[in-house]
């Protein structure tokens, strides 16, 4: 699918995605518990019977994730590609956004390369960005293609329902939900950043309990990812994630101020021609007026193209 189509779909489902934040995690955790009970009671069946895995386990999870599993406008089984048939195609707005490939529970999809490679071929062949590989207990989300990266490097999220706490597994599984799947890559990077930051602080000697308290919502502040803003807001400070969150003072409390701060930060870290280009853009931007929403659009595009995570405090 073309990038513009995915961007349009993302905008169409933005309101739904924003409304399903913490509220969607509890039901997903309940669905996980149902799946675990089935596996505990009928493990031998699922270890040899892929169809049972599809109907009893995968269907259970995907319904919990908001997909209308019996609606061919959202889920199409046995979707044809030139490389073969994918078990399921997930559809939004008439476009395939992901393929799902199923295996029985006896297949170790974490170690075997072939199932993941086959799924990637389905995606690459048809231009579908994401693939989901599962045996009902382990779920792997992968970005189908990216220049200069191996297939394993493109794994965005991996969930093992048998080994992970239900709430943690539910949070990770939510990336496959109908309301969040178009943002799988972005949310995956945020989760990885959170985990790395947390473990880094633990290694520095900070107590886990203190860090949990720190992460609780401070109702005196609103720190919001740049892509969730509308463009008219007046931020106080900006943050960019670079092996930890870096605070960026703003030259002015506008979206243009955020853009200037981000460009200055990027320019200070760059070298050679890239550094000269960034600083030239920075100096030019300082001298010209820039409408709030236009500055916001540039920031969102910059975040996507440069793989940045930018947030602001309101």
**Average pLDDT, stretch 132-143?**
95
**Average pLDDT, stretch 4-31?**
55
What pLDDT was estimated at residue 211? 79
What pLDDT was estimated at residue 4? 41
pLDDT tens profile 255-266: 999 999 999 999
pLDDT tens profile 276-314: 999 999 999 999 999 999 999 999 999 888 888 898 888
**Average pLDDT, stretch 191-212?**
86
Can you say whether the dihedral through the CA atoms of 99, 105, 108, 110 is positive or negative?
positive
| Residue of 177 and 219 predicted with greater confidence | 177
**Average pLDDT, stretch 165-177?**
91
1: nearest Cα among 93, 87, 96, 142: 96
- Beta strands 223-225; 155-160: pairing state: unpaired
pLDDT tens profile 41-71: 999 999 999 999 999 999 999 999 999 999 9
What pLDDT was estimated at residue 126? 87
What pLDDT was estimated at residue 125? 83
Give the pair of three-digit tokens for residue 244: 């930890």
Domain boundary assignment for the chain: 3-184, 223-313
* CATH 3.80.30.20 at 3-184, yes or no: no
What pLDDT was estimated at residue 89? 94
Indicate the average pLDDT of the chain: 86
What pLDDT was estimated at residue 166? 84
Q: How many C-beta atoms surround the C-beta of residue 90 within 10 A? A: 24
């Amino acid at each position: 699918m073309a990038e513009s189509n995915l961007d349009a779909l993302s905008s169409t489902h933005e309101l739904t995605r924003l409304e399903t934040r913490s509220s969607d995690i509890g039901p997903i955790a309940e669905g996980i518990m149902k799946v675990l009970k089935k596996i505990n009671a009928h493990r031998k069946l699922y270890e040899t019977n892929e169809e049972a895995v599809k109907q009893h386990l995968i269907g259970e999870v995907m319904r919990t994730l908001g997909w209308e599993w019996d609606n061919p406008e959202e889920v199409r089984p046995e979707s044809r590609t030139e490389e073969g048939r994918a078990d399921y195609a997930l559809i939004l707005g008439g476009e395939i956004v992901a393929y799902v490939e199923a295996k029985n529970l006896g297949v170790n999809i974490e170690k075997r390369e072939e199932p993941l490679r086959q799924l990637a071929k389905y995606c690459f062949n048809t231009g579908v960005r994401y693939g989901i590989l599962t045996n009902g207990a382990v779920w792997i989300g992968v970005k189908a293609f990216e220049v200069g990266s191996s297939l394993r490097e493109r794994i965005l999220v991996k969930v093992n329902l048998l080994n992970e706490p239900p709430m943690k597994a539910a949070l990770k599984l939510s990336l496959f939900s109908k309301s969040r799947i178009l943002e799988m890559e972005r949310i995956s990077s945020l989760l990885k950043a959170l985990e790395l930051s947390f473990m880094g602080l633990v290694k520095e000697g900070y107590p886990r309990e203190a860090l949990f308290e720190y992460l609780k919502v401070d109702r005196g502040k609103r720190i919001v990812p740049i892509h969730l803003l509308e463009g008219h807001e007046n931020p106080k400070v900006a943050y960019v994630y670079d092996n930890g969150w870096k605070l960026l003072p703003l030259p002015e409390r506008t979206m243009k101020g955020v853009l200037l701060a981000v460009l200055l930060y990027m320019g200070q870290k760059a070298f050679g021609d890239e550094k000269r280009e960034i600083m030239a853009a920075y100096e030019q931007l300082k001298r010209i007026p820039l409408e709030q929403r236009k500055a916001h659009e540039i920031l969102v595009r910059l975040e996507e193209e440069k793989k940045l995570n930018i947030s602001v405090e309101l």
